[in-house]
Each structure stands twice: as C-alpha cells, then as structure tokens.
Amino acid sequence: MEPITLYQFELCPYCHKVKAGLDVKGIPYRKVEVNPMNKKELPELPEATPRKVPVIEVNGDRVQDSTDILTYLETTYPTRFPLLPEDPAAREKTEMVERWVDDDLSYVLPTVIYGKWGDAIRAAKVVARTSNFGFLQNMVVRGGGSLIMHQVSKRIVKKRGGSNPEQMLSAELDKFEQWLGDADYVCGEQVTLGDVATHGCLTCIQEFPAFAAVMQRPRIAAWFERVQAVRDANRPAAPTAPEQAAAGGA
Ligand SMILES: N[C@@H](CCC(=O)N[C@@H](CS)C(=O)NCC(=O)O)C(=O)O
C-alpha cells in the first residue's frame, strides 16, 4: 500500500481526527509538520483553497479537510475497518457526532490548551519537540504561536459565550457522555466515525492538565481506553530505520 503523507500541526484537533482514522483503518502514513507561520511545507493546493491543515497526499491525490479526508479514506479503502455503519439510524448518529466534533469540540480544545499561560508554554514545547524548522523559526513559532493562540482562545470563549474553558469543555463532555450512554462505543459494539473523530480530537489535549477532566468521567475514560486499544492494535508497525531510509522519508 502506497504510504500516505499527512501535512499537519501537532496540536491541531482536525489533524488528530485524521490520525485516529488512519490508525483504526490500519493505514500507514508519515507526518510532515507544517510551520504555522509560513506553511511552506504544504504542497500546492487548488487555487482559492485555504492553506490549512490537515492535507493528505497519496497516489497523486491531495485531499484537504478532516471530514473530506476521512470520507476519502472510507471510499478508497472500504474494506479496511469500515467506519460507517450500514444501519441508517446508526449512520446518522455517528455522522452527527463527527459534525459536533468539527463544529463544537474542536473549538473548545484550543481554549483549554492556550487559555492559561502555563499551558500555552507547554504547547510551545510540544510544537518545538515535534517540528524541525531550524533554530530561529522554532523560536518564532514557539513565542509567536503561543501568543497568537492565547488571543484566539480568549476570542473563542467570548464568541461562544462561555464563562471559562473548563466549563465549556465540561458542557461538551456532558453531551458526549449522553450519546455514549452505557454502550461501548457511540453506535454500540463497534468503533465508528464518531468515536474516531472524538477520540482523535481529545488526543490533542492528552498532555495538558485539562485531560484529567476527561478521564475523571468513568464512562468516557473507559471508552477512551477502548478506542485507544483498537488504534494500537490496528496501527501498522513503524517502519524500521533502513525501510524508512529506502522510502526516502522522515
Ligand atoms: N474544516 C477544516 C478545519 C481545518 C483548520 O481549521 N485547520 C487549522 C489548524 S487547527 C489551520 O490550518 N489553520 C491555519 C490557518 O487558518 O491559517 C478541517 O476539518 O480540516
């Protein structure tokens, strides 16, 4: 199978959503960290397309937008762990959960990552660890990125009428807990699109104090571990150093 290249930001919830889909479907990929300041690593995209991550490149195809990418993966590799249930009601539910991830959960997460200065600095460290932009660009991304995202996060809280990031996250987790009910996964016994989108998105805050609020909810914590186990079991083994060198990749 031709390996996929994923252009990403390490702390982008939409990119994590795609990584969860790739893992569950067992599709190998390599990551290219994009410099958020100039995005020069991004491949050429059709005119008038926003220069945003995630973007995937495979077999000469370039696909942008996490929802479109997961749809592309589902149609291109339909037999590899299908993520869309056949039952129409289940399908509607799992697609509704994915829309909620895109429209609500993904907006709340940056507020818990960058809302406090201590966490914004932690975020800068994660970016520095996962990127290879050179010393100067790294400093710019670490300092500038945290500052910009701190302002963005304040704007999100205000625009969404939230009182504070923790309460906003808690309100979103309430919704997910209700959809999950007592089932193993969003649509019952099998991981589907809604699980992938939510798990991926939450992985984004795994290194931050706010993640404790996720794991303090027993039903969500158990679900998180279950989906993680599926991802770990299905994810293809990392290529050995010689294989990686032969493929010319990082
Ligand atoms: N709807 C898109 C949203 C992608 C998106 O907003 N990506 C952000 C990072 S989290 C981005 O690339 N921002 C850069 C910019 O707007 O310049 C998706 O689902 O992929």
Residue spans per domain, the chain = 4-82+239-247, 88-234
Domain 88-234: state its class.
Answer: mainly alpha
Q: What is the pLDDT of residue 134?
A: 73
Distances (CA, A) of 201 to 99, 187, 240: 12, 18, 28
Distance 204 CA to ligand 1 centre (A): 14
Q: What is the pLDDT of residue 193?
A: 98
Summarize the confidence of residues 209-237 as an average pLDDT: 96
Instruction: Write down the number of H helices and E strands in the chain.
Output: 11, 4
Beta carbon of 54 within 6 Å of any ligand 1 atom:
yes
C-alpha to C-alpha distance for 232 and 229, rounded to whole angstroms: 5
Q: What is the pLDDT of residue 96?
A: 98
Summarize the confidence of residues 55-77 as an average pLDDT: 95
Q: How confident is the model at residue 239 (pLDDT cuts 50, 70, 90)?
A: low
Domains 4-82+239-247 and 88-234 share a fold: no
Residue whose entry in the numeric block shows the structure tokens 């100067």: 136
* Residue nearest (by alpha carbon) to ligand 1 atom 17: 52
Contacts of residue 236, defined as CB under 8 A and 6 or more positions apart, other chains included, come to 26, 27, 28
Pocket test residue of 53, 64, 111 for ligand 1, highest count of atoms within 8 A of CB: 53
Beta carbon of 137 within 6 Å of any ligand 1 atom:
no
Q: What is the pLDDT of residue 88?
A: 98
Residue whose entry in the numeric block shows the structure tokens 């504070």: 164
Percent of the chain topping pLDDT 70: 94
C-alpha to C-alpha distance for 200 and 234, rounded to whole angstroms: 15
* Residue nearest (by alpha carbon) to ligand 1 atom 10: 12
Q: What is the pLDDT of residue 241?
A: 65
Beta carbon of 102 within 6 Å of any ligand 1 atom:
yes
Beta carbon of 12 within 6 Å of any ligand 1 atom:
yes
Q: What is the pLDDT of residue 62?
A: 95
> Does the structure show a pLDDT above 80 at 130?
no
- Topology at the third CATH level for domain 4-82+239-247: Glutaredoxin (3.40.30)
What global pTM score does this model have?
0.90
